[in-house]
């Protein structure tokens, strides 16, 4: 069932804000973003320390992004999740995706109560490869 949900998310949502995206190619966030770009997704870097990543304008916060975001993909420590959830709710994103080893039960419940689909402790790149294999 979970794979069906993930497949549906990845099939129907094409704009992904990546919170914590680094311009350093050795970082997991960069590798995941590059993979998603190669597979037709529009990535939006969200990191106050970056100006551009993978040819895309970077933004300091989710609220600064001037376009609609489908998925908020999080590469930050779990303690940052409540603030990211507040921004995710404020911008009206459909999905909150927390990468491997990232979870925050209270914030996830808050996102779900706001009608946001939550995927936690799952790598979006690995999930995409699994459901498109």
In the predicted model, residues of the chain with pLDDT beneath 50 are: none
**pLDDT (0 to 100) of residue 54:** 98
Model pTM score:
0.96
Residue in the structure block whose two tokens are 């995706």: 97
Query: Which pLDDT value is given to residue 133?
Result: 73
Residue 42's φ and ψ, nearest 5 degrees, are -90, 120
Instruction: State residue 34's pLDDT score.
Output: 98
Instruction: Give the separation between CA 107 and CA 62, rounded to whole angstroms.
Output: 16
- Domains of the chain (ranges, CATH numbers): 2-132 (3.40.50.720)
Helices (H), 39-121: 81-91, 105-113
Q: What pLDDT, on a 0 to 100 scale, did the predictor assign at position 112?
A: 97
**Which residue is listed with tokens 């549906």?**
8
Model pLDDT, residue 131: 85
Residue with tokens 């999080």: 74
Q: Average pLDDT over the chain, rounded to whole?
A: 95
Tokens at residue 130, please?
């699994």
20: Cα separation from own chain's centroid: 9
**The pLDDT of residue 132:** 81
């Amino acid at each position: 069932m979970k794979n069906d949900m993930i497949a549906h998310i990845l099939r129907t949502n094409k704009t992904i804000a990546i919170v914590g995206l680094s311009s350093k190619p050795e970082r997991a966030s960069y590798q995941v973003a590059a993979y998603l770009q190669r597979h037709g997704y529009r990535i939006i870097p969200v990191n106050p320390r970056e100006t551009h990543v993978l040819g895309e304008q970077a933004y300091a916060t989710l609220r600064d992004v001037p376009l609609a975001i489908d998925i908020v993909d999080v590469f930050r420590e779990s303690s940052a999740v409540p603030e990211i959830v507040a921004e995710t709710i404020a911008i009206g994103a459909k999905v909150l995706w927390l990468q491997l080893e990232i979870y925050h039960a209270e914030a996830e419940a808050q996102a779900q109560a706001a009608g946001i689909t939550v995927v936690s402790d799952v790598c979006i790149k690995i999930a995409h490869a699994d459901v498109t294999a």
